Amino acid sequence: MAAYRSTPVFDEVTLPAALRADHRTKAGTWGVITVLEGQLRLTFVDPPGSRLLFPGRPGLVKPEQTHFVTPIGAMRMRVDFHDLAPDLPTPTASDERET
């Protein structure tokens, strides 16, 4: 399923402050955070948890889910927005690095 909108590509310098602070997707909107280079930490507020994202391991944000992102060194990323839950590959146990 194709995204209906995407952000520009951001790096560790151009990543907006709004994405680094608590924010949420709108009702009915799913977000897919795709890291193109480097690493990014996706942190969920409620329930608390985090996930390390890197190329080939995108992050899924559910509608109205409060979260923020933190770059880990040099990185490039974008966010794609979907009306329905996107079909993402299920990580294997060896891929899981959630906290």
User: Do the strands 59-61 and 66-82 form a parallel or antiparallel pair, or are they unpaired?
Assistant: unpaired
DSSP one-letter code for 98: -
Q: What is the mean pLDDT of the chain?
A: 91
DSSP one-letter code for 95: T
Domains of the chain by start residue, with CATH: 5-82 (2.60.120.10)
Q: Which H or E run includes 18?
A: helix 17-20
User: Per-residue pLDDT tens for 38-95?
Assistant: 999 999 998 899 999 999 999 999 999 999 999 999 999 999 999 999 988 765 444 4
C-alpha to C-alpha distance for 48 and 12, rounded to whole angstroms = 24
> Is pLDDT at 12 greater than 60 in this prediction?
yes
